[in-house]
Each structure stands twice: as structure tokens, then as C-alpha cells.
């Protein structure tokens, strides 16, 4: 079945349809971006430093990782090119 036969031939109507499709695409991109950020974005797990005193006998050593370098390139950034 030829899909082009179902499109209107009026240019103004076609432009309207195109704008609606572009708005839908932008809306879907924004939703996808929000969902990806929610699912894979940075996690803020806080450490209560006051609780370190619970292990004063030296039986447990806790190393707090350094915060990530915000100036470093994201590892997936080069894949988009």
C-alpha cells in the first residue's frame, strides 16, 4: 500500500502536520532525556561523618571517595560523534 496517497496535497496543511510532528519529536526527546537522567544520573548518597565514631576500635576502615572531576569528559560523550 502506498502511504503517500493518504497525505493531503494542501501545502498549508502539510506544514501544519510537519510542525505537529516536530513538536511531538521534541516532546519525546525531552521525556527521554528526563527519564535517562532520572535512571542513570548522578546519585547523591550522603555519608554522616558523625557515625564514624561508632567504629573507634579500629576494626573498620572507611575510605571516602573523592568527588568526581566535573571538568573531565564524560566517557559516553565521544560515542555520539
27 in a structural domain: yes
Range of the domain at 37: 7-42
Residue 77 lies in a domain: no
pLDDT top residue among 69 and 39: 39
36 in a structural domain: yes
Whether 1 is in a domain gets the answer no
17, 23 in Cβ contact below 8 A? no
The verdict on residue 18 lying in a domain is: yes
Residue 60 is predicted with a pLDDT of: 65
Q: Which residue has the higher pLDDT, 78 or 23?
A: 23
Measure the CA–CA gap between 42 and 69, rounded to whole angstroms.
13
Lowest mean pLDDT among 31-35, 50-54, 55-59, 73-77: 73-77
Per-residue pLDDT reduced to its tens digit, 5-49 = 788 899 999 999 999 999 999 999 999 999 998 888 877 767 777
Q: How many domains does the chain have?
A: 1
Amino acid at each position: 500500500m502506498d502511504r503517500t496517497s493518504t497525505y493531503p496535497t494542501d501545502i498549508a496543511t502539510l506544514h501544519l502536520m510537519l510542525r505537529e510532528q516536530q513538536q511531538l519529536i521534541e516532546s519525546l526527546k525531552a521525556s527521554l532525556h528526563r527519564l535517562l537522567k532520572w535512571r542513570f544520573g548522578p546519585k547523591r548518597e550522603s555519608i554522616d561523618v558523625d557515625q564514624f565514631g561508632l567504629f573507634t576500635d579500629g576494626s573498620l576502615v572507611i575510605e571516602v571517595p573523592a568527588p568526581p572531576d566535573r571538568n573531565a569528559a564524560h566517557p559516553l560523550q565521544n560515542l555520539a560523534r
